[in-house]
Amino acid sequence: MAGKLKLCFGMAALALLIGIAAFAHNALANRVPALHLTFPEEQDNAAPRRHKAPDFTLTDWDGNSLRLSGIIAGGKPVILNFWASWCPACRHETPGFERVYRDFGGEVTFVMLNLTDGVRETVETGQRYIRDGGFTLPVYFDTLREGVMAYGVRSIPATVFIGTDGYIITAMQGVVDEHTLRMIVGQLIP
């Protein structure tokens, strides 16, 4: 009897936790625009609507400010990845991004954008993670939180693939495994 009672209390607690999580998600989801993974067509028979990659200010490793549009103007496809060192999923995907960068960094521009809020994540913690991991990826910092707002990023990691023309090709939320990343990079390279 005691076991059944514990099971009932456990199930009730789980149901309550799920309800609270759903309420919190819905309340927060209305405050921040979502990262659009796919873009709707204007009309049923029309070509899909294309979206110019939003521009914003970011900071490089040395503390210099620059604009994403300046990076895109380099004429290569751009992979824009939003991450933080405290994020387990981000840490999981970083080695795969590193290997793909080493293979294709000359043909595709990688922008590994650290979400630097100054509290949970600082420039120093982001740099330490990259240094300690022996990563060579080009890392930038979103110290003004312009990138996260421009792209409506609600969760990380999130990755945006931008063509040489500055238009978004696609975007993905969650971990991008190395195999998927290599397939997409293969399609980005002319």
Average pLDDT in the chain: 84
**Residue 178 burial (10 A CB sphere; 0-12, 13-18, 19+):** middle
Pairwise CA distance, residues 1 & 159, whole Å: 51
Beta-ladder partners of 141: 59, 114
Residue 127: pLDDT above 60?
Answer: yes
What is the reported pLDDT for 82?
A: 98
For residues 21-30, one letter each, b for 16 or more C-beta atoms within 10 angstroms of the residue's C-beta and e for the rest, the string is eeeeeeeeee
Residue 24: pLDDT above 80?
Answer: no
What is the reported pLDDT for 38?
A: 39
